[in-house]
Structure 1
Amino acid sequence: MTETINLFSPVKIGCYTLPNRIVMAPMTRMRAIGSIPNSLMATYYAQRASAGLIITESAMISPLSNTYVNCPGIYSQAQVEGWKLVTDAVHTKGGKIFLQIWHSGRVGHPSLLNGQLPVAPSAIAPNWKLDTPLGKLPIETPRALEIHEIAEIIEEFRIAAKNAMLAGFDGVEIHGGFGFLIDQFLQDGANHRTDKYGGSLANRTRFLLEVVETVTGVWGSDRVGIKLAPSNTVYGIFDSDRKATFSYAIDALNSFNLAYIHLPEPKEVDIINGNVINPVAPTFRLIYKGAIVTNCLYDKAKANAVLAAGDADLVSFARLFIANPDLPERFAKNYPLNTPNPKTFCPEGENELEKGYTDYPFLESSLISSSP
């Protein structure tokens, strides 16, 4: 009789065998003051090292690839040294950790980009407002990238991948979703180019595949994952035929034999916006031959169900990991979960960085505080 797969079944992704299928999802938390990772971040990630795999928040590949205040980077020696604090802390606790590397493309603002305009495949501004040091402002019309600049960004991905290795990570996840640069090249609502990077599916997928080829050239395919978001509508991203676009792109990724592909399901707002693929993981399970990580507000029961059905191989959790640093233990013991506080997902000021970040109680302290 075949054993039913669940969250605590070991799983092999790439060159690693993980003790469970519980993944800490990448989450921007804005605690990297000056874009340099720090000891507080090391504590935060180490607290959650019992996850089968941790995927960090997005790390900028250059100073001109930023969307958020106090977002970490991976382009300077100081950032590499800062990330070493994180990887050392996680490895001391026996965890595995991948760095998510990322270029924001048009989802930026001059106040975050040294006064420069954001760049994109085409000069098309999304109808979206962004939190900036100057307040909430509309995203400005980006500057369309020249061909030589595309090559330069691909080289920045290579350097970022190399720096991630120097910082002690176990692998990297390329962020290709959520309306950021790779996603902008993929989807025809953001890409009106008429050169080899625009028009046909093959051309719009070219940038994605060139980035993947470059990063796997540094790490090897078995220590690289990719995140795509076929049904995400954030930052005004859209495509005239999502099913065709992402079926083509995901099928093309089969040739790399990556560690995994990370595919979030649509959120309620995406479904309301329409033109989405729902559900995502079962749809692309028919196309993708490797491991799939699914995500979208799963609880334990729903996560086990999607694994048992064979629709995905791992499940990533975001908000539950924010509030429950020992989430795998709580799942294993069926213990009540701490409730996440959205007001502290991002800090209100640099004097309150720990609040809602490293101060959620562990299981033992929860039991003590609830004892009569």
Structure 2
Amino acid sequence: MTLFTPLQVGSTTLPNRILLAPLTRTRADAGHLPNALMADYYSQRATGGLLITECTMVAPGTSAFINEPGIYSDAQVAAWKQVTSGVHAKGGRIFLQIWHAGRAAHPDINGGVPTVSSSATPIEGEIHTPSGKVPHAVPHALTADEIPAIVAAFAQGAKNAIAAGFDGVEVHGANGYLIDQFLRDTPNQRTDGYGGSLENRTRLLFEVLTAVTAAIGADKVGLRLSPLNSYNSMQDSDPLAFIGFLAEKLNAFKLAYLHVMRADFFGVQKGDVLAVARAKYHGVLVGNMGYTAEEAEEAITAGQLDAVAFGTSFLANPDLPARIQLKAPLNTPDQSTFYTQGAKGYTDYPTLQG
């Protein structure tokens, strides 16, 4: 199967093209510290071509999930080493997804720290906080003078990731978090150099990529985008133009890969964004969202993609590559444990070997 042919991703050689998609699992300890349970989880999945971690905070006061990990403190760097060493001991490769939640964070989760975004437009609906569900906060619209500190936080997060033993990082530009809040024109209502045209809306992303690639090398940097996904009250008026513009401009960065989510969780926006990305982007292209092994194989064989990131199927099947190779049945994901704490529904899924 083409899925089991090697792939060069920047400075990292993947033995197969079955990637673990970044999945929020909320198992970190207080202080947003990774722990031994997380090390077990990632180590169990080390046979994937590349593991991409859950979204990881590049700055304090930016938590959206209460128990997600961070990469901004020395203690977090030290704690991540048990994860990376565990994965490497099993022969695996792992990138850290670096992330700023923007308006998806909330002051009630972050000790009163104000929520920030491209504009003062909140996410619709409610968010879970330690005191229960509350409406999303109206964010503070970042000033141009405040943006360099956020860019610097991404660069430092990337340096910290390498210090923690990661093989590289994935910049999170998807799913309605801070970078995406600048990229797409529904939340971005700015009239300065960071709003309006595609050139302006992509400015923050390109500043982050410039800083991160300078910090650790472009061959250790991937990027995730979600042109269609309406999660977190997101939309764009022209998602095909959006991905076409970005895919073409991203060639200059010589990234390890571009990771594109092909659909919308809620089916609001539609379009073949991967075909546009493939036509415009000259590097390694990773597809994601709802692929079966058979569909992934067909897409890679046809040259539509170079690799596929599997989410819930890899969550529920630590030995997913072996199951695909043997055409073995798959465990069913337990959605009730996706965002809980503890080992249940996290590290207790059975493998073929028991």
Q: TM-score range by the shorter chain?
A: over 0.9
Question: Which residue number corresponds to residue 349 of structure 2?
Answer: 360
Where does structure 2 lack aligned partners over 5 or more consecutive residues? none
User: 1:171 is matched with which residue?
Assistant: 168
Give the aligned length.
353
- Secondary structure of 1:33's aligned partner: coil
What amino acid does structure 1 have at the position aligned with 2:70? G
CA distance in 2, matches of 1:247, 1:281: 10
**1:9: how far off?**
1.3
1:242 & 1:268 partners in 2: Cα distance?
Answer: 15
Deviations 1:197-222 (A, max 9, x none): 11221111110000000000111111
Tell me, yes or no, if the aligned pair for 2:20 and 2:310 is still in contact at 8 Å.
yes
In structure 1, C-alpha distance between the alignment counterparts of 2:11 and 2:207, rounded to whole Å? 22
| TM-score normalised by L of structure 1 | 0.93
Q: Of 304, 315, 319, which aligns to 2:312?
A: 319
Deviates more, 1:237-246 or 1:54-63: 237-246
Residue of structure 1 equivalent to 2:128:
131
Alpha-carbon contact 1:282-1:312 (below 8 Å) kept: no
Q: Which amino acid aligns with 1:252?
A: K
Q: Deviations over 1:6-33 (max 9, x none)?
A: 2111111112221100000000100001
2-side partners of 1:155 and 1:344: how far apart?
35
Of the three residues 3, 7, 10, the one matched with 1:11 is: 7
Cα deviation for residue 147 of structure 1 reads 1.4
Q: 281, 289, 299: which one pairs with 1:288?
A: 281
Aligned equivalents of 1:280 and 1:246: distance in 2? 7
Deviation at 1:135, TM superposition (A): 2.0
Structure label with greater radius of gyration: 1
Instruction: Answer yes or no: is 1:310 the counterpart of 2:323.
Output: no
Write the distance in 1 (CA, Å) between the matches of 2:237 and 2:320: 39
Kept after mapping to 1: 8 A contact 2:221/2:256: yes
Shift of 1:64: 2.2
**Residue 117 of structure 1: aligned partner:** 114
Q: Distance in 2 between matches of 1:302 and 1:134?
A: 43
State yes or no: 1:253 paired with 2:250.
Answer: yes
Percent pairwise identity: 48
CA contact (8 A) 1:65 1:102 kept: no
2:3–2:300: 8 Å Cα contact kept in structure 1? yes
- Tell me the CA shift for residue 156 of structure 1: 0.6
Deviation at 1:268, TM superposition (A): 5.5
User: Contact 2:231–2:265 at 8 Å: present in 1 too?
Assistant: no
Runs (4+) of structure 1 exceeding 3 A deviation are none
User: Which deviates the most, 242-251 or 301-310?
Assistant: 242-251
Structure 1 segment 30-49 matched on structure 2, within 5 A? 30-34=26-30, 35-49=32-46
Question: Aligned AA for 2:285?
Answer: I
CA RMSD in angstroms comes to 1.2
Distance 1:130 1:309 in 2: 41
Counterpart of 2:13, as a letter, is T
CA distance in 2, matches of 1:201, 1:62: 27
Instruction: Work out the CA distance in 1 between the residues paired with 2:214 and 2:346.
Output: 35
Cα displacement (A) at 1:192? 1.5
Q: How does 1:57-206 map to 2 (within 5 A)?
A: 57-206=54-203
Paired with 1:206 and 1:128, the residues of 2 have a C-alpha distance of: 29
> Any conservation in 1 of the 2:227–2:236 contact (CA below 8 Å)?
no
**What's the offset of the Cα at 1:336?**
1.1
Match of 1:25 in 2: 21
Asked if the contact 1:295/1:315 (under 8 Å) is kept, the reply is yes
Q: Could you tell me the TM-score, scaled by structure 2's length?
A: 0.97
- 2:229 corresponds to: 232
